[in-house]
Amino acid sequence: MIVAIDQSGSMADSVVYASVFGAVLASMPALRTHVVAFDTAVADLTPLLHDPVDVLFGVQLGGGTDIAQAVGYCQQLITRPADTVLVLVSDLFEGGNASLLHQRIAALHQAGVCVVVLLALSDEGAPTYDHTQAAAFAALGVPSFACTPDAFPDLLAAALEGRDVGRWANEHGLHTAVAPAV
């Protein structure tokens, strides 16, 4: 399980919830969990996961966003693609190389990694996000949607059980990005 958290200022609520969930997941012996926070730099918070407070203090809101760089870092952590869930918590406003981001997400998906993009993890569950990026991911078969904290455990269960996470999101009425019509 890898939770990659966009720590740009617009993601404040999502950062808090994702950090806490990451620490909870790390306490489960059946999962090997990594938590990575990013803006234009990547910070691996995995060594802090024993204490959710340390994780929260390890995150620093603000700055730009280089999602491609963060996804590249996460790729290095994956040893068993078919057994890996990558939850990317981001509004997808990419300040880095969008083409490289698409290539990396596509490669992960094709390798068998369950990639889930959470556009927001907040009480409102109605995010502002880059619709073009989300549609590009949807076209790749990578679900992109917003999620409330109370729905997150069921989302994780669906991902860990190998169910179709995009279908799960639609069935639960979550705000889901769709691929552009051709």
Say what the pLDDT of residue 59 is: 65
Mean of pLDDT over the chain: 86
- Which residues, given as ranges, of the chain have pLDDT below 50? 182
Structure confidence by residue, pLDDT tens digits, 159-182: 989 999 988 988 988 867 766 554
CA nearest to 148, candidates 182, 174, 180:
174
Q: To 10 degrees, the CA torsion angle through 118, 122, 126, 127?
A: -60
Say what the pLDDT of residue 102 is: 96
Domains and CATH numbers, the chain: 2-171 (3.40.50.410)
Say what the pLDDT of residue 8 is: 81
Say what the pLDDT of residue 178 is: 65
Say what the pLDDT of residue 60 is: 64
Question: For the packed helices 152-160 and 12-26, what is the interaxial angle rounded to 10 degrees?
Answer: 50
Whole-prediction pTM: 0.91
Structure confidence by residue, pLDDT tens digits, 72-83: 999 999 999 999
Say what the pLDDT of residue 104 is: 97
